[in-house]
Amino acid sequence: MNKNYKKLIPITGPSITEKEVDYVAKAAKDGWNENATRYVNLFEEKFSKYVGRKFALATSSCTGALHLAYLASGLKKGDEVIVPNITWIASIEPLYYIGASPVFADIEPDTWCMDPKDIERKITKKTKAILVVDLYGHVADMRAILKIAKKYKLKVIEDAAEAVGSEYYGKKAGSFGGVSCFSFHGSKTLVTGEGGMLLTDNENIIKKARYYNDHCKDPKKLFWNLGIGYKYKMSNFQAACGLAQLERVNELVAKKRKIFSWYKKYLSKVPGVSLNVERQGTKNAYWMVTAVFDKKYKINKENLIKKLAKCNIQSRPFFYPLSSLPAIRTKVNTPVSYDVSSRAINLPCGQNITKADVGTVCSCLVKYFGV
């Protein structure tokens, strides 16, 4: 792997066209005063329709959307929430903000989403909700999870940050549970630079989320605050970009699936390399192309990432188990999470990657493993 590739192959990256530039320019020109929320309102309306939800609240990040979702769902200090041990820390940080406690469940070995069987094992008298994460684009087993939630009378919150365009038995990711949240970070399939969205069919939840997101202002008295609130608002500029991206969402998702097909073709003949699955009844939008390497290779994923970097190829480690992070560090029994994480990395899959780029990445992997 000592060949010098001049072109950087980035891990992620959006597709920005003249449409996005034009929409943002229009927002800069006329998105003020009486039009101060025009593009935000349009983005909320059209995105909720795309997913199939009644109500939407655009936010500055998915982290902010999740914080509002937890508050609006009535979670409070001392409550326990079952969460997957594999996800980005932003999924659970807001639980700490409100004093709730995450309880870590294991993942399935193929979808890498939370294992419904382990969810049920982790439920206690303090459990109030389940946080479901659609990891790397695959929707979790919602039928099984919703059945468990109904049995134990638990709230369900869906973190669909990574799953724009994914589906589960004909329903879009983000259409499950009492409330769901998305991310439009610059690394995602649909981008606004930074940004997120809270979606729900529950009018009470959307009212509470909007209330908390506007400094808990009294709607009847100007500058009169009834509580301590927050401000996770999206700008008109971001929303204008999001609108343009949303009009291209089918194209963007199709490109992600095409990229995955290239990797699948090139790596199909390499023994001991497993990629993302697409379980029956689902559509995986493949936000990240992820490779899990057989134990026989005895990889060190940090070293592999460094080796790829020498070839001008960016990659990322599969998420570390949350319970292993210095910020959290607690003992839990989630063997699949620890096993898969130790043997997996995310490969370059930005919107502008070419088939030739994918071939270069795969060639470097083949040379590294000597197969």
Can you tell me the distance from the alpha carbon of 96 to that of 67, in angstroms, rounded to the nearest whole number? 10
pLDDT score for 369 = 82
pLDDT score for 47 = 98
Confidence of residue 86 (pLDDT cuts 50, 70, 90): very high
Pick from 5-9, 343-347, 363-367: least confident: 5-9
First-to-final CA distance of the chain? 13
Can you tell me the distance from the alpha carbon of 308 to that of 5, in angstroms, rounded to the nearest whole number? 10
Alpha carbon 338 to its chain's center? 20
Which CATH architecture fits 18-247? 3-Layer(aba) Sandwich (3.40)
> What does the block give as tokens for 182?
């998305």
> What does the block give as tokens for 334?
């989630």
At residue 41, what are phi and psi to the nearest 5 degrees?
Answer: -60, -40
pLDDT score for 5 = 56
**Is there a contact between 234 and 327 (Cβ–Cβ < 8 Å)?**
no
User: Is it the case that residue 356 has pLDDT exceeding 60?
Assistant: yes
Calculate the alpha carbon distances from 101 to 70, 115, 148, 328 in Å: 12, 19, 19, 11
Tracing tokens 């790397």 back to the chain, one arrives at 136
Helix axes 38-51, 18-30, angle to 10 degrees: 140
Q: Three-class SS string for the chain?
A: CCCCCCCCECCCCCCCCHHHHHHHHHHHHHCCHHHCCHHHHHHHHHHHHHHCCCEEEEECCHHHHHHHHHHHCCCCCCCEEEEECCCCHHHCHHHHHHCCEEEEECECCCCCCECHHHHHHHCCCCEEEEEEECHHHCCCCHHHHHHHHHHHCCEEEEECCCCCCCEECCEECCCCCCEEEEECECCCCCCCECCEEEEECCHHHHHHHHHHCCCCECCCCCCCECCCCCCCECCHHHHHHHHHHHHCHHHHHHHHHHHHHHHHHHHCCCCCEEECCCCCCEECCCCCEEEEECHHHCCCHHHHHHHHHHCCECCEECCCCHHHCCCCCCCCCCHHHHHHHHCEEEECCCCCCCHHHHHHHHHHHHHHHCC
pLDDT score for 79 = 98
Alpha carbon 48 to its chain's center? 17
**Is there a contact between 254 and 190 (Cβ–Cβ < 8 Å)?**
no
Q: Residues 89-117: pLDDT tens digits?
A: 999 999 999 999 999 999 999 999 999 99
**For residues 305-323, average pLDDT:** 97
Please list, residue by residue across 59-87, b when 16 or more beta carbons sit within 10 angstroms of its beta carbon and e when fewer do: bbbbbbbbbbbbbbbebeeebbbbbbbbb
User: Is it the case that residue 9 has pLDDT exceeding 60?
Assistant: yes
CATH superfamily, region 249-369:
Aspartate Aminotransferase, domain 1 (3.90.1150.10)
Percent of all residues in the chain with a pLDDT value above 90, rounded to a whole number: 96
Q: Find all residues with CB under 8 Å of 255, minimum gap 6, and list them.
A: 15, 351
CB atoms within 10 A of CB 201: 16
Residue-averaged pLDDT of the chain: 96
Q: Residues 215-258: pLDDT tens digits?
A: 999 999 999 999 999 999 999 999 999 999 999 999 999 999 99
Q: What are the boundaries of each domain within the chain?
A: 18-247, 249-369
Q: Residues 46-57: pLDDT tens digits?
A: 999 999 999 999
**For residues 321-327, average pLDDT:** 98
Confidence of residue 371 (pLDDT cuts 50, 70, 90): low
**For residues 323-350, average pLDDT:** 98
User: Is it the case that residue 3 has pLDDT exceeding 70?
Assistant: no
Alpha carbon 99 to its chain's center? 23
Confidence of residue 2 (pLDDT cuts 50, 70, 90): very low
**For residues 321-348, average pLDDT:** 98
Percent of all residues in the chain with a pLDDT value above 70, rounded to a whole number: 98
**For residues 22-44, average pLDDT:** 96
**For residues 187-200, average pLDDT:** 98
Confidence of residue 269 (pLDDT cuts 50, 70, 90): confident
User: Is it the case that residue 370 has pLDDT exceeding 80?
Assistant: no
